[in-house]
Amino acid sequence: MVVVMQPGVEATDVEAVVERVEAAGGQAFVSRGVSRVIVGLVGDVETFATLDLAGMPGVAQVTRVSTEFKLVSREQHPDRSVVHVRGVPVGPDTVTLIAGPCAVETPEQTLAAARMAQAAGATMLRGGAFKPRTSPYAFQGLGELGLRILADVREETGLPIVTEVLSAHDVAMVAEYADMMQIGTRNMQNFALLQAIGETNVPVMLKRGMNATIQEWLMAAEYIAQRGNLEIVLCERGIRTFETETRNTLDISAVPVVQRLSHLPVIIDPSHSGGRRDLVLPLSRAGLVAGADGIIVDVHPQPELALCDGAQALIGKDLDELATAVTDLTTYMGRSPARRRYRSAG
């Protein structure tokens, strides 16, 4: 059972809920996010049902759901959610194209990639400043310098930025720059990171762990939600299978399955799943027709010189074809392109 408190609730009202639950022999765990306070109850549900928690001051909602991912479940919230990233929606009525370089390398490269992204219809810029590389000898990213470059390019282009955070220690710093924080496939079950991001009010893109089941993925999202941040976009980026022709296997079925189980938006990453430029277009088409709420793709002005993932970066004719496919399939699916709804300062 979960008690969601009203925004701006008084501490005494939260305390009263905890006391009533404990007096009835239950345990109550309080999670304080920036935007809301959530009290998770452990104990006898039948007893809790007699406590009239819903009628207590400051209580917004009491939910009795059976799944392990209560707050992100569709049982809890039957309408599919829209997450706004600096005014750009990601949700059921739109298709959001996010594009940019795998890694931020230089100001010139990042701006050039952002211009390519924008020309292709993207309304959000991706780019890694902290790179989770399999080899410790590979380019690890520019760190905070990369974040500053992204912020400058946002200033120049108006594109909100999504960038990865690798560690709980970096969350406060990355949150200063990012419009959406990315949790990569290797960190999907880094619970300290999930909780730290859950305590901010910055939207988050949670990639599916390459070895994770859908249930595990949704429980990871629940860790973020439980700390009060429900601005979560899920990203299917391929899972490990026995197949070696592709880097990973994009699990198209995850899109409708997750949309049935959870109210959170789901996008796909056809670049990191296939790991090959020639697969980005067919995988994007498949994902959009399966109902994805958006796609995130790598672009690079000089893929042959890219410090990371050049083999999958789009340029030229391939990017033009992707742009056309996204436009056509957005209409085909009865959606509209995700345009920024307001301009905010900075």
Chain residues binding ligand PEP by CB under 6 A are 102, 128, 132, 164, 184-185, 207, 237, 269, 272
By beta-carbon proximity to Mn ion, the closer residue of 170 and 309 is 309
Q: How far is the CB of 104 from ligand PEP (least distance, A)?
A: 11
Specify the residue, 39 or 104, whose C-beta has the smaller distance to Mn ion. Answer: 104
Closest CB 165 distance from Mn ion, rounded Å: 15
DSSP string, 39-81: EEEES-HHHHHTT-GGGSTTEEEEE---SS--TTBTTT--SPP
Amino acid at 40: G
Q: How far is the CB of 28 from ligand PEP (least distance, A)?
A: 35
Overall residue count recorded for the chain in this entry:
346
Distance in Å, CB of 200 to ligand PEP, minimum? 20
- Closer CB to ligand PEP, 31 or 251, in the complex: 251
In the complex, which residue's CB is closest to ligand PEP?
Answer: 184
Partner interacting with residue 105 (select from ligand PEP, Mn ion, none; CB below 5-8 Å by kind)? none
98-106, 154-162, 276-284, 331-339 -> range binding Mn ion (CB under 5 A): 98-106
Q: How far apart are CA 165 and CA 172, in angstroms?
A: 10
**Minimal distance, residue 234 CB to ligand PEP, in Å:** 12
Residue 299 touches Mn ion, criterion: CB under 5 A:
no
- Is 309 a binder of Mn ion (CB under 5 A)? yes
Q: Which is nearer to ligand PEP, 166 or 290 (CB)?
A: 166
Contacts of 266 (CB under 8 A, 6+ apart): 233, 234, 235, 236, 254, 255, 258, 259, 292, 293
Task: Indicate the SS3 state at residue 275.
Answer: coil
The nearer residue to ligand PEP, 166 or 326, going by C-beta atoms, is: 166
Query: What dihedral do alpha carbons 58, 54, 76, 8 form, nearest 10°?
Result: 0
Q: Which does 207 bind (CB under 5 to 8 A by kind): ligand PEP, Mn ion, none?
A: ligand PEP
Beta carbon of residue 64, minimum distance to ligand PEP (angstroms, whole number): 35
Q: Which is nearer to ligand PEP, 164 or 199 (CB)?
A: 164
Q: Is 102 in the site for Mn ion (CB under 5 A)?
A: yes
Phi/psi of residue 194, nearest 5 degrees: -60, -45
Q: Is 182 helix (H, G, I), strand (E, B) or coil?
A: strand
Are the C-beta atoms of residues 131 and 103 closer than 8 Å to each other? yes
Q: Parallel, antiparallel, or unpaired for β 37-42 and 124-126? A: unpaired
- Helix crossing, 214-226 with 254-261: angle to 10°? 40
> Which residue ranges make up the site for Mn ion (CB under 5 A)?
102, 309
